Amino acid sequence: QVTLKESGPVLVKPTETLTLTCTVSGFSLSDARMGVSWIRQPPGKALEWLAHIYSNDGKAYSTSLKSRLSISKDTSKSQVVLTLTNMDPVDTATYYCARVGLARDAFDVWGQGTMVTVSS
């Protein structure tokens, strides 16, 4: 069974750096054609794609957030890590990780999401 689970702080202060971990099971991050994305959703708003890491360690970032984002993976730990610097209250959102497991890079399995609030 393929699962993904997000973990990280519930509350961060403005200007701090957010670090989130997505721990996967049921597949390997080195499997060909497998990749993991991070997506976020502010309360009551739409999904926003943030970043993606490919099995060959290639990376892609949201153009608007590229300067603040970093994605990496530790295949031995089955973890994908997202960092977002200089947090602001507008970054308050539920953060999801999701696996690309279908043709056309569709996300077939999502984590449950983790809510992050930015407040002093």
Residues found near another protein in the complex (CB under 8 A): 37, 39, 46-49, 52, 60-63, 96, 98, 102-108, 110-113
C-alpha distances in Å from residue 4, one per residue of 25, 44, 47, 65, 100: 7, 23, 18, 23, 12
Q: Supply the minimum distance, in Å, between the C-beta of residue 61 and another protein.
A: 8
Nearer to another protein, 16 or 117 (CB): 117
Give the residues across from 107 on adjacent strands.
100
What's the rounded Cα separation, in Å, for the pair 40 and 70? 15
- Beta carbons of 73 and 16 less than 8 angstroms apart: no
Nearer to another protein among residue 15 and residue 108 (C-beta): 108
Residue 18 Cβ vs another protein, minimum distance, rounded to whole Å: 19
For another protein, the closer of residues 32 and 46 by Cβ is: 46
